[in-house]
Amino acid sequence: MTPLNDIIENFSLLDEWDDRYRYLIELGRELEPLAENAHSEANRVKGCASQVWLETTVNPEQILTFKGDSDAHIVRGLVYLVLALYSGRPASEIVATDAGDLFQTLGLTAHLTPQRSNGVRAMVERIRNDARSVLLPA
């Protein structure tokens, strides 16, 4: 996965929004394939207009790793961004990290349709809820 700092730098080099959307689609093509059985109702993110699936794994040190997929090209790119921000991080960091800062930095906040913005919020909330559930005492 492309490091988040590289993604931010690449976005800053692209002046035209068409180029940024193409880059977003390109990022989505780099997503690691999600196993067919992971395209399940349990992994489906509710609140997204497109179909989005997130698979969560947690290691003993409470580090969460995510895999994701979508049936829409631009949304796959948004999934990629969200995973670049959150995957491989401890649950406590995930809960404390606001994805809105990243989307503001990239200039995506102003250029996403309301439906896509709602979908991103649903993905982020799902990831943060998964992290919160790891932090709850057993």
All domains of the chain in start order, with CATH? 4-135 (3.90.1010.10)
Specify the pLDDT at position 138: 55
Annotated catalytic residue, options 48, 72, 85, 123: 48
The string of pLDDT tens digits covering residues 38-55 is: 999 999 999 988 999 999
d(CA 103, CA 81): 9
Specify the pLDDT at position 136: 87
Alpha helices in 1-138 (DSSP H): 4-13, 17-29, 73-86, 91-96, 99-105, 114-135
The string of pLDDT tens digits covering residues 58-78 is: 999 999 999 999 999 999 999
Specify the pLDDT at position 64: 98
Specify the pLDDT at position 11: 95
What averages of pLDDT result for each successive group of 10 residues across the chain (138 residues)?
94 94 96 95 93 97 97 96 97 96 92 92 97 86
Instruction: Establish how many alpha carbons lie within 13 A of residue 120's alpha carbon, considering only the half-sphere containing its beta carbon.
Output: 25
Residue 48 annotated in active site:
yes
Specify the pLDDT at position 88: 97
Whole-number average pLDDT of the chain: 95
Specify the pLDDT at position 124: 97
- CB burial readout 25-36, b (16+ within 10 A) else e: bebbeebeebee
